[in-house]
């Protein structure tokens, strides 16, 4: 009997009765630059990709903004990739078409999340084995995919958290900082968070942060020296530059500094702000301390388990997943792919509380 495999149909209906268009909008890196607006162009009429046998075609409803979007568009992650190439790391949406093998585990209309390059598009093809089934399409799930998983796995694998340890989280009110604070509190640690406004400090207190330091109004170094003379045991560090030096100097004996990023340098042509690294061997030796780097791609064997735990915690109400849609930004909420540029700017101005998410509205053009 003939089997109709939708993935090879040039034109088909999605589950809400509207026809899937043949073309779509997407963002493409057209030249390598640490200036996101210079590097990336909005294409209006890219062909909607067709899913292969083991793939899902996902209509994106929410896409996540990451600090590393700029590193990717600057060509810093994979020097072999030449423009033009797709951009955006994570999305949440509905399956609107799928290949035959993929239909063993997924159905049209199902909510899914994924981490895969190319999410800044109206439709993205996602291998079924990389998709994460969700109970519904909610932006909160997006916060867990990269930001939550980074905090969970890095603290579990490298942080060696235990009751009473002092944990310093830099950029604590940001997309991943919010999870480092909550997970450290769940491990019964004493948590210190740096942030740039009293509003962010209030948010941090609401999720359990024991001591907030507004670095615009307080001297972080003085506060740490005065309040934590013995030093801090673990630092979750994503800022780089001067903040890295300060955090390193604040480590306790046998302390560990986990580097998950260096956002202060991402928009620089070289990508790095100088640190006083020539003193690093002496500083580490003096305290038997360590500096560990963490890049999520190297821990993918832990990823499914981490995400499962995070989803369970959120569903139980044990985890706050703060989403920032840019409602307080000058031009309002981030809606549509056009607003990704504004969202990236907003992040680098340090305005966000929680994870920055862009909504891609979908108007159903029903044929029924």
Question: What confidence score (pLDDT) does residue 366 get?
Answer: 37
Instruction: Identify whether 7 is part of a domain.
Output: no
The secondary structure element, H or E, covering residue 211 is: strand 211-214
**Judgement on whether residues 288 and 350 belong to the same structural domain of the protein:** no
**Judgement on whether residues 226 and 243 belong to the same structural domain of the protein:** yes
Instruction: Identify whether 177 is part of a domain.
Output: yes
CA atoms within 13 A on the CB side of 185: 22
Instruction: Identify whether 12 is part of a domain.
Output: no
- The number of beta carbons lying within 10 Å of the beta carbon of residue 297 is 8
Q: Which of 77, 86, 71, 79 is nearest to 30 (CA)?
A: 86
Instruction: Identify whether 252 is part of a domain.
Output: yes
CATH code, 268: 3.40.50.720
Question: What confidence score (pLDDT) does residue 363 get?
Answer: 60
**293-308 per-position pLDDT tens digit:** 999 999 999 999 999 9
- Number of domains, the chain: 2
**42-66 per-position pLDDT tens digit:** 999 999 999 999 999 999 999 999 9
User: Please, what sign has the CA dihedral across residues 365, 91, 132, 169?
Assistant: negative
Instruction: Identify whether 6 is part of a domain.
Output: no
* pLDDT bucket at 15, cuts 50 / 70 / 90: low
CATH code, 79: 3.90.180.10
Q: Quote the percentage of the chain above a pLDDT of 70.
A: 93
Rounded-to-integer distance, Cα 351 and Cα 324, Å: 10
**Judgement on whether residues 56 and 84 belong to the same structural domain of the protein:** yes
**Judgement on whether residues 262 and 348 belong to the same structural domain of the protein:** no
Instruction: Identify whether 366 is part of a domain.
Output: no
**Do residues 259 and 252 make contact, with C-beta atoms less than 8 angstroms apart?**
no
* pLDDT bucket at 77, cuts 50 / 70 / 90: confident
**Judgement on whether residues 170 and 254 belong to the same structural domain of the protein:** yes
SS3 66: coil
Rounded-to-integer distance, Cα 202 and Cα 212, Å: 9
Q: Which domain holds residue 117?
A: 17-137+322-359
Distances from the Cα of 232 to the Cα of 51, 153, 168, 209, angstroms: 49, 20, 7, 15
Instruction: Identify whether 353 is part of a domain.
Output: yes
**Judgement on whether residues 111 and 160 belong to the same structural domain of the protein:** no
Instruction: Identify whether 364 is part of a domain.
Output: no
**Judgement on whether residues 178 and 81 belong to the same structural domain of the protein:** no
**Judgement on whether residues 133 and 151 belong to the same structural domain of the protein:** no
**Judgement on whether residues 149 and 122 belong to the same structural domain of the protein:** no
Mean pLDDT confidence for 110-130: 97
**Judgement on whether residues 192 and 115 belong to the same structural domain of the protein:** no
């Amino acid at each position: 009997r003939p089997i109709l495999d939708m993935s090879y149909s040039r034109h088909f209906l999605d589950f809400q009765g509207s026809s899937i268009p043949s073309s779509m909008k997407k963002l493409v890196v057209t030249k390598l630059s640490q200036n996101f607006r210079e590097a990336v162009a909005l294409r209006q009429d890219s062909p909607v990709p067709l899913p292969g046998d083991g793939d899902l075609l996902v209509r994106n409803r929410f896409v996540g903004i990451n600090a590393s979007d700029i590193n990717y568009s600057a060509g810093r992650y994979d020097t072999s990739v030449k423009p033009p190439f797709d951009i955006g790391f994570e999305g949440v949406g509905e399956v609107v078409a799928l290949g035959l093998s993929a239909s063993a585990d997924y159905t049209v209309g199902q909510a899914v999340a994924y981490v895969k390059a190319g999410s800044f598009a109206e439709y993205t093809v996602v291998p079924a084995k990389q998709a994460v089934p969700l109970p519904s399409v909610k932006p909160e799930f997006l916060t867990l995919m990269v930001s939550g998983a980074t905090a969970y796995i890095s603290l579990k694998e490298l942080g060696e958290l235990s009751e009473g340890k002092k944990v310093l989280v830099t950029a604590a009110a940001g997309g991943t900082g919010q999870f480092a604070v909550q997970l450290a509190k769940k491990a019964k640690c004493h948590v210190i968070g740096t942030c740039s406004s009293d509003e962010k400090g209030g948010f941090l207190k609401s999720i359990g942060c024991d001591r907030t330091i507004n670095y615009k109004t307080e001297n972080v170094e003085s506060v740490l020296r005065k309040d934590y003379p013995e030093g801090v045991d673990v630092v979750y560090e994503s800022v780089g530059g001067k903040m890295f030096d300060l955090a390193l100097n604040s480590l306790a004996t046998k302390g560990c500094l986990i580097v998950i990023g260096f956002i202060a340098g991402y928009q620089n042509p070289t990508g790095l702000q100088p640190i006083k690294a020539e003193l690093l061997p002496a500083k580490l030796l003096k305290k038997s301390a360590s500096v560990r780097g963490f890049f999520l791609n190297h821990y993918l064997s832990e990823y499914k388990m981490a995400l499962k735990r995070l989803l369970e915690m959120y569903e139980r109400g044990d985890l706050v997943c703060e989403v920032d849609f840019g409602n307080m930004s000058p031009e309002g909420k981030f809606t549509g792919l056009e607003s990704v540029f504004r969202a990236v700017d907003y992040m680098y101005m340090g305005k966000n509380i929680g994870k920055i998410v862009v909504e891609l509205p979908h108007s159903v053009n029903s044929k029924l």
